[in-house]
Amino acid sequence: MTYKKGNAYLLLSFIFWGVIIALQINILVKFTSFSNMMLTEKLNSNTINVSIEELSNTADHLVIAIIVIGIMFAILSVLFFVSYIKVHKSGKLNENASMTDQLTGLPNRRSFDNRLSLEWKRAAREQTAISILIMDLDNFKKYNDTFGHQQGDKALQSFADTLNDSLKRPGDFGARWGGEEFIALLSGTDAMGAMDLAEKVRQSVQDMEIPATDIEATKITVSIGINTWKHGDNSTLDEFISRADMALYNAKGSGRNKVCHWHKL
């Protein structure tokens, strides 16, 4: 849409300058003709007056044309600019929507994958540690079946808010991984720092109150698997994630509501 409007704008520009140049050429031709006639002394006083009047009228027409077309050109420029801004903003909104989980407001998996790729390369380049947390709400399917999907959505939103409040540093990045699974990337964070943060998240979730009419629906817990990469570790990006997933599986198998680091398996 913007491309077509841009072409129309360009076409009008050519038309505008084409008209101006044509009028200028018209005046130049008449003035040249008038000058030649003067030089050959073939003009009488009446002819001179008529020629001068024609030149004056043509110049007046040129001025009027420039003013009218200039005003039209300015209006069209403003309309095109306003249209471009609207389309640009709309595109930004659509882009943001495609990178955000609509239920929780957290970044979605696509957004996380983009960020993970950047931070992984940065950690390798700067030789700094990077940690990942994979979090899964315990017995969420049973919770959903017991209290209903609307209540399940409230639980997911409450957890997302708690997670977001826990990730305070600029380098921390949390996202909804899918379903009841969430994930967090902690750049510049070693194993001990990741364990401390994961435990704070686990405790905060255990203490949080989910809005509900049924008192049994106000509580839920989370299990968290952690992995840390540091300089000298030859693991790949896929292994970095899968090891955190294995740590999560171990936390689930240990009774749930646990935090487990892959290095301690």
Which residues are part of the catalytic machinery? 180
Distance of CA 2 to the CA centre of its chain: 19
Find where tokens 């989910």 sit. 210
- Cβ atoms within 10 Å, residue 27: 15
* Beta-bridge partners for 261: 226
Q: What angle (nearest 5°) sits at the alpha carbon of residue 263, between those of residues 239 and 137?
A: 75
String of b and e for 63-76 (b: at least 16 CB within 10 Å)? eeebeebeeebeeb
Three-state DSSP class for 210?
Answer: coil
Beta bridge partners of 181: 136, 178
From the number of C-beta atoms within 10 Å of its C-beta (0-12, 13-18, 19+), residue 250 rates as: middle
Q: How many helices (H) and strands (E) does the chain have?
A: 7, 5
| Residue pair 99/108 in contact by the 8 Å Cβ criterion | yes
What is the residue-wise DSSP string for 4-42?
HHHHHHHHHHHHHHHHHHHHHHHHHHHHHHHHHHHHTT-
